[in-house]
Amino acid sequence: MTGPTRNWLVPMRARSTDEPHRVSTPLELFFDLCFVVAVAQAAAPLHHSIAEHHVLSGLRGYLMVFFAIWWAWMNFTWFASAYDTDDDVYRLTTFVQIAGCLVLAAGVGPAFEDADFRIITIGYVIMRLALVAQWLRASRSDPERRNVAQRYAIGVAVVQLFWILRLWTPESWPVLPLFLVLVLADVAVPVWAERASGGPTTYHPHHISERYGLFTIIVLGESVSAATLAFRGALDEGSDYNTVLLRLAVAGLVIVFALWWLYFDRSAHALVTTLRTSFLWGYGHYFIFAAAAAVGAGLGVAVDHATHHAEISSTLAGYAIAVPVAVYLFFVWLLHIRPHQSGPMLLAFPVAVVLALLTPLTHASLELLAAVLVGLVAVNVTLGRRVPDRIS
């Protein structure tokens, strides 16, 4: 018995926005898992930078690297929702993007240690130019949205040229301002392209919300993995810290469980039904993803501090977790909760953000942070669901 014959190349036409049973494909799931390798490589240096009291440089490097990971992932995700043909050429082009992500991951170390962004830039450009090829395919097969697809291809290609030229800028030039200019150019491409005649591109709201949810799960899982490695390393040195590590482990798990609960407590597909809301929702997830991955780095810092492997204050160790948790809560509230809720429930998340940022000023800050999150989950479950949903 043989299976159905696969197509090498099929017309890349826009998929329907209300296509039934539109779920993530095995290729998309594989794509996500490979990107988590890059996320892990970005979070590990952040952990060590904070533990060595190089907070600002570590945070700057982390946010810069994470932008490249997130932006390449996001562009593939939205393109796939509109044009996934699952033919052989599409699969091979996606494999090129995955290979570029792995090249980027290999360059994280030099970027953090020596401010050498050559390998990261090469990996990023590989991912982005593979997407240019996809958009050129779409421009040939989808006459209605040809102008949109061509704008994407031109815009992405031009910005990549400037990313490459950035590698030859004089060392005296400031790194961060130039980086921010190129970031703004990159994120402006979809805004410009989607306003072309014939646009916007189609996408499936349920599929998009599922894809973002799956990546949130994977990033939170990476936090658990990073924390587990830190705990394992501490335990291997002896049993002197078993009690304190057990407390940290329980509190850390409660924090991650609560973050998962709060993200998935409301359906998100109704939030991506217009171009404006889709941009805000999609772009805002940069902070959710980056904060979720940084929680794992923060838990690693907490373990280092508890086992006296980090010469930092207990307050800084507490903020290594409290800050990403607060950022995560704020953007989950902004993107997921605020559009649904009205009245007093709108205050629950901002209050929790403030309380989270106060916990490092106390003893047992991690346990108190876990308690704040448990309280927020309880309020959201008991009171939040009694309020009529404004957009369901």
* Residue 158: predicted pLDDT: 96
Residue 386: what pLDDT?
57
Dig out the tokens for 277 from the structure: 């809301």
Q: Distance (Å, rounded) from C-alpha 83 to C-alpha 103?
A: 26
Question: What is the predicted pLDDT for the residue at 167?
Answer: 87
Q: What angle do CA 247, 250, 253 make, to 5 degrees?
A: 145
Q: Is the pLDDT of residue 2 over 70?
A: no
Name the token pair of 2.
Answer: 């043989």
pLDDT surpasses 50 at 35 = yes
Contact criterion met (CB below 8 Å) for 43 and 231? no
Spatial contact of 134 and 90, defined as CB atoms under 8 Å apart: yes
Query: What pLDDT, on a 0 to 100 scale, did the predictor assign at position 1?
Result: 39
The torsion angles phi and psi of 323, rounded to 5 degrees, stand at -65, -50
Sequence-separated (6 or more) residues with CB below 8 Å from residue 194: 148, 200, 201, 275
- Do residues 200 and 194 lie in contact, with contact meaning Cβ atoms separated by under 8 Å? yes
**Local confidence band at 388 (pLDDT 50, 70, 90 cut-offs):** low
Q: What is the pLDDT of residues 197-221, one digit of tens each?
A: 777 888 888 888 899 999 999 889 8
Chain centre distance of CA 362: 30
pLDDT in tens, 239-287: 566 777 788 888 888 999 999 999 988 777 777 777 788 888 899 999 9
Query: Quick one: pLDDT band at residue 6, thresholds 50, 70, 90?
Result: low
- Structure token digits, residue 128: 């982005």
Please give the Cα distance from 57 to 64 (Å, whole number).
11
161-170 residue pLDDT tens: 999 998 888 8
- Angstrom distance (rounded) from CA 71 to CA 131: 12
- Kindly report which listed range (16-20, 142-146, 226-230, 297-301) carries the lowest average pLDDT score: 226-230
pLDDT, one tens digit per residue, over 51-62 is 888 889 889 889
* pLDDT attached to residue 234: 65
pLDDT score, position 321: 94
Q: With a cut of 60, say whether residue 5 has pLDDT above it.
A: no
Confidence tier at 375 by pLDDT (50, 70, 90):
very high
Can you state the angle between helices 275-306 and 205-235, rounded to 10 degrees? 10
Q: What is the DSSP string of 308-336?
A: T-S-S-HHHHHHHHHHHHHHHHHHHIIII
Mean pLDDT of 359-370: 91
HSE-up (13 A, CA, CB side) for residue 121 = 18
Instruction: Report residue 308's pLDDT band, with 50, 70 and 90 as the boundaries.
Output: confident
Q: What is the pTM of this model?
A: 0.90
| 288 within 8 A of 331, measured Cβ to Cβ | yes
Q: How far apart are the C-alpha atoms of 262 and 92, rounded to whole Å? A: 37
Specify the CATH class of 205-386 in words: mainly alpha
Q: Where in the chain is the domain with CATH 1.20.1410?
A: 205-386
Answer positive or negative: Cα dihedral of 306, 310, 313, 315. Answer: negative
Percent of the chain at pLDDT exceeding 70: 92
Average pLDDT of span 25-46: 88
